[in-house]
Chains A and B, each alone.
Chain A
């Protein structure tokens, strides 16, 4: 049985939402797509804030909506924790009152744990208007989590925060995803967020589902590169921390296939496994390793697939195999032809060290 299964149709102004999707696994499912692709509309249908013209939504086997059978569970009986983009804290309640607003009595013992998890102990007696942007979001997440939801729906919770606050809140959400058993549906249009947080992915475009599945599997598909962020498309690499080099401020890492690479110092201890984000545009290719290049990270790889996006005469999308892992590279078609590259060829992948962002595993 799917956790969440739906099939809906709804007209929205000049385009229509027409999609079906199924969330099978707990963990974080990202709903990803450009602005206006229908992500938030879908979230509203799920939460019960809008009615679909046609279709059904089932959660844990319970039918929330079914237009053909006239089934309708109202918003307040759905037990879906919604974290809205604008947080929507109640201005006349203190933080504590906001947190407990939807809390059933049996969850009272979880209160302290959630408050600690989100780092909002010090804010409990304050009113929302006195909180910073990041704090407001954390309280909103806590409030939704304490309402004992069957699923947490987060609508671009990082919108409007600056870089440092964004990273901080993302860490809190990661922690939460690891510690609570509530599945999360996370709406985003930022490729970076996606790579940091998602386990599975639903890729949306113009009210349709373009692809859905495990994130890493979808990231490997060259044909989805454009939809997965185009210029900002990226891959995830799993590595193990070897050692830190304090003199140069570097951390040495080892890939599963034994090759090593180094990146600016990561906050992780030797032996720890971390996940790196490698933007597709930051990977270049050479026919052989060379000491005469400034690229220090030179990895032996095999071209697994070369794909020319139709309608784009400039670009060549490549998928490279590094042992068990995949890496993607984007070259110009001109470079690809001049180097005489073909699928199956052994090459050297050049990675700019600065391209990494970490995620602890």
Chain B
């Protein structure tokens, strides 16, 4: 039913999006916490920077990634020298592009949900002897869970659908960086690829639906628990 290159594209996409999400999850929570709970100079600037990938053309983001993380880029040279890591034209590079594009969505969702957590509950926990870290892990984070799930799914979907930044930074290499959207694009460019393109299109819809339904179900469960119903 599916040809090998198609299966390959699906797997690469899931891998790229999964790795991207795994990499941005903890920094995303940390930055969201910073934005929700702390006042510091330059906060507005950071807020603007965080939202930049949402408003910039993805190709610009990809080009900026190439400039910094590319072989000639400052960070890229260091990565190569210190760790032997090369990002451009690799699937890891595609994950970086997806992660950068997905980051603001994750931060936004987690931040909103952190702001809704009642700080009085955290204060109560600290009077019961819980240090800052324990309060965060046992009170703040669980109460943020619905937002975290929503944000996680949004970010995953964003990374999965990434096109512009990926093709600019990681290129369109079959079996390496050719994700679903890139494969779809390639098929559209190829005469006679319509049927395969339709199949990939259907797969995209299915994956998106599954993640949406799953996240909705998980978030509902989490909310039900917070409202004291057995889920």
Binding site for B on A (CB under 8 A): 47-49, 74-82, 84, 86, 88, 90-92, 101-102, 104, 126-130, 143-144, 147
For the complex of A and B, 3 pairs with smallest distance between CB atoms: A129-B228, A102-B128, A127-B228
Are A76's CB and B120's CB within 8 A? no
Q: Does B130 have its Cβ within 8 Å of any Cβ on chain A? A: yes
Are A91's CB and B143's CB within 8 A? yes
Are B143's CB and A81's CB within 8 A? no
- Residues 43-68 of chain B, each 1 if its beta carbon lies under 8 Å from chain A, else 0: 00000000000000000000000000
Which residues of the other chain, B, contact A79 by a CB distance below 8 angstroms?
129
Which residues of the other chain, A, contact B227 by a CB distance below 8 angstroms?
91, 127, 129
Are A88's CB and B130's CB within 8 A? no
Report the bound CA distance from A126 to B225 in whole Å: 11
Binding site for A on B (CB under 8 A): 118, 120-121, 123-132, 135, 138-139, 142-143, 225-230
Contacts A84-B120, A88-B121, A92-B143: A47 and B228 contacting too (C-beta < 8 A)? no
Nearest CB of A to B104, in Å: 28
Contacts A88-B124, A90-B121, A92-B142: A101 and B225 contacting too (C-beta < 8 A)? no
Please report the number of residue pairs spanning A and B whose Cβ atoms sit closer than 8 angstroms: 74
Q: A88-B123, A101-B128 are in contact. List 7 more A-B contacts (CB 8 A).
A: A75-B126, A90-B139, A92-B143, A102-B125, A129-B229, A144-B128, A147-B127
Nearest CB of A to B132, in Å: 8
Nearest CB of A to B78, in Å: 39
The 8 sampled A-B contact pairs (Cβ below 8 Å) are A74-B126, A76-B127, A88-B121, A102-B130, A104-B129, A126-B228, A127-B229, A130-B229
Contacts A49-B123, A84-B124, A92-B143: A128 and B228 contacting too (C-beta < 8 A)? yes
Nearest CB of B to A120, in Å: 15
Nearest CB of A to B152, in Å: 18
Q: Pick the most buried of B125, B126, B130, B143: most chain A CB atoms within 10 A of its CB.
A: B126
Report the bound CA distance from A143 to B121 in whole Å: 13
Contacts A76-B131, A84-B120, A86-B120: A92 and B126 contacting too (C-beta < 8 A)? no
Report the bound CA distance from A31 to B139 in whole Å: 30
Report the bound CA distance from A90 to B226 in whole Å: 9
Which residues of the other chain, A, contact B123 by a CB distance below 8 angstroms?
49, 75, 88
Q: B132: nearest residue on chain A (CB-CB)?
A: A76
Report the bound CA distance from A76 to B123 in whole Å: 9
SS of B interface (majority): helix
SS of A interface (majority): loop
Report the bound CA distance from A92 to B125 in whole Å: 13
Report the bound CA distance from A38 to B210 in whole Å: 55
Report the bound CA distance from A104 to B128 in whole Å: 10
Nearest CB of A to B220, in Å: 14
Which residues of the other chain, B, contact A49 by a CB distance below 8 angstroms?
123, 127
Contacts A90-B139, A92-B142, A92-B143: A82 and B127 contacting too (C-beta < 8 A)? yes
Report the bound CA distance from A130 to B229 in whole Å: 8
Which residues of the other chain, A, contact B118 by a CB distance below 8 angstroms?
88
Report the bound CA distance from A47 to B123 in whole Å: 10
Contacts A84-B120, A90-B139, A92-B142: A143 and B226 contacting too (C-beta < 8 A)? no
Are A101's CB and B226's CB within 8 A? no
Q: B127: nearest residue on chain A (CB-CB)?
A: A82
Which residues of the other chain, A, contact B228 by a CB distance below 8 angstroms?
91, 126-130
Report the bound CA distance from A86 to B226 in whole Å: 17
Q: A143: nearest residue on chain B (CB-CB)?
A: B128
Report the bound CA distance from A85 to B124 in whole Å: 11
Which residues of the other chain, B, contact A47 by a CB distance below 8 angstroms?
127
Report the bound CA distance from A49 to B121 in whole Å: 12
Are B142's CB and A101's CB within 8 A? no
Contacts A91-B226, A127-B225, A128-B228: A147 and B121 contacting too (C-beta < 8 A)? no
Report the bound CA distance from A78 to B127 in whole Å: 8
Q: B134: nearest residue on chain A (CB-CB)?
A: A76
Which residues of the other chain, B, contact A82 by a CB distance below 8 angstroms?
124, 127
Are A147's CB and B128's CB within 8 A? yes
Which residues of the other chain, B, contact A129 by a CB distance below 8 angstroms?
226-229
Q: Pick the most buried of A81, A88, A128, A144: most chain B CB atoms within 10 A of its CB.
A: A88
Report the bound CA distance from A91 to B228 in whole Å: 7
Which residues of the other chain, A, contact B128 by a CB distance below 8 angstroms?
76, 81, 101-102, 143-144, 147
Are A88's CB and B120's CB within 8 A? yes
Q: A140: nearest residue on chain B (CB-CB)?
A: B124
Are B225's CB and A92's CB within 8 A? yes
